[in-house]
């Protein structure tokens, strides 16, 4: 398995990452869990034989796939060598690009028939015309994204402000903290956050905090018990609860296995 990231030159306000993942015959079949990263995205699966399992439901993924936010882990099974390319969006970007209620895609890898047909066709044309020139592929995708008229209003500005605050504090904030910086009450915050991002504020904060902890662990090899307290978990049992929720495994189970795709993504 090889995971490669590409430079974002013109769309930093919309794109978190451009990526290419390849699977060689040497590692097939390839099986891994996928954990929530706080992104929605679009990807193109160029080969058959990839399946996602979530809550015992199987989804075969091929072609253009829209992935919503996830608040739980899923399993990926790759049975054929091949590759995929994709875009991970900034938290509010997919809503700004499509004006869709992003909560409709939560915990789903959806066929892009849910998008505008003309928009789907434009993405498919670009993904299918790269001729293994991935630099050019992502450049063309950036130009397409820049052609969109974005949905921007007082609500998107407020939610972006809340997201920036969550990121600055590495997820160690409360809904009460967010209400101090946005111009509406808790019910409206919950509604708008879920509409634009696909998760509630509290769930997004928990996922972001957990992801930042795991990034620090994978990049610096800090003792896990030290990170647990650094990221304001009351004790190891509270951390284990989040760990189980987001990976489907307890820490001692997870670290016995080699989840190379997750590790590479966390080391980015």
| Cα–Cα distance measured from residue 226 to residue 61, given in angstroms and rounded to the nearest whole number | 39
Peptide bond into 29 cis (omega under 30): yes
Instruction: Confirm whether 100 is domain-assigned.
Output: yes
Among 91, 38, 85, 94, CA closest to 64: 85
pLDDT of residue 222: 76
- In this structure, what is the dihedral angle of CA atoms 192, 195, 199, 202, given to the nearest 10 degrees? 10
Among 212, 216, 197, CA closest to 167: 212
Q: Check whether 211 has a pLDDT greater than 90.
A: yes
Confidence of residue 117 (pLDDT cuts 50, 70, 90): confident
This prediction has a pTM of 0.94
Torsions phi, psi for 215 (to 5 deg): -60, -45
Confidence of residue 255 (pLDDT cuts 50, 70, 90): confident
**Which residues constitute the domain of residue 92?**
2-146
Would the CA dihedral through 156, 265, 8, 135 be positive or negative?
negative
Q: Check whether 78 has a pLDDT greater than 90.
A: yes
> CB of 99 within 8 A of CB of 53?
no
pLDDT of residue 114: 66
Instruction: Confirm whether 241 is domain-assigned.
Output: no
Instruction: Confirm whether 89 is domain-assigned.
Output: yes
Question: How far, in whole angstroms, is CA 60 from its chain's centroid?
Answer: 19
> CB of 199 within 8 A of CB of 210?
no
Instruction: Confirm whether 15 is domain-assigned.
Output: yes
Q: Which residues contact 130 (CB under 8 A, 6 or more apart)?
A: 85, 136, 137, 140
- In the chain, % helix, strand, coil (3-state, to 5) comes to 45, 20, 35
Instruction: Confirm whether 174 is domain-assigned.
Output: no
Place of tokens 């994709």: 86
Q: What is the CATH number of the domain that holds 46?
A: 2.60.120
Instruction: Confirm whether 153 is domain-assigned.
Output: no
Instruction: Confirm whether 226 is domain-assigned.
Output: no
Please state the domain count of the chain. 1
| pLDDT (mean) for 34-47 | 95
The overall average pLDDT reported for the chain is 93
pLDDT in tens, 143-189: 999 999 999 999 999 999 999 999 999 999 999 999 999 999 999 99
| Cα–Cα distance measured from residue 76 to residue 139, given in angstroms and rounded to the nearest whole number | 28
Instruction: Confirm whether 114 is domain-assigned.
Output: yes
């Amino acid at each position: 398995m090889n995971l490669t990231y590409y430079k974002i030159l013109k769309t930093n306000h919309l794109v978190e990452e451009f990526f290419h993942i390849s699977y060689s015959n040497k590692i097939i079949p390839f099986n891994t869990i996928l954990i929530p990263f706080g992104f929605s995205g679009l990807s193109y699966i160029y080969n058959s034989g990839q399946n996602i399992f979530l809550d015992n439901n199987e989804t075969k993924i091929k072609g253009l796939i829209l992935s919503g936010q996830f608040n739980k882990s899923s399993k990926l099974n790759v049975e054929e060598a091949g590759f995929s390319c994709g875009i991970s969006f900034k938290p509010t970007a997919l809503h700004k690009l499509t004006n869709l209620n992003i909560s409709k895609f939560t915990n789903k890898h959806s066929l892009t028939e849910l998008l505008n047909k003309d928009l789907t066709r434009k993405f498919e044309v670009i993904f299918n015309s790269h001729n293994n020139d991935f630099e050019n592929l992502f450049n063309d995708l950036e130009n397409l994204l820049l052609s969109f008229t974005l949905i921007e209003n007082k609500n998107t500005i407020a939610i972006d402000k809340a997201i920036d605050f969550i990121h600055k504090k590495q997820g160690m904030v409360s809904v009460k903290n967010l209400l101090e910086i946005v111009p509406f009450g808790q019910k409206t915050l919950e509604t708008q956050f879920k509409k634009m991002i696909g998760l509630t504020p509290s769930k997004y904060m928990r996922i972001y905090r957990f992801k930042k902890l795991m990034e620090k662990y994978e990049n610096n090899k800090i003792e896990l018990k030290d990170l647990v307290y650094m990221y304001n978990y009351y004790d190891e049992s509270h951390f284990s609860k989040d760990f189980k929720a987001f990976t489907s495994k307890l820490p001692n189970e997870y670290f016995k296995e080699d989840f190379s795709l997750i590790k590479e993504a966390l080391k980015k």
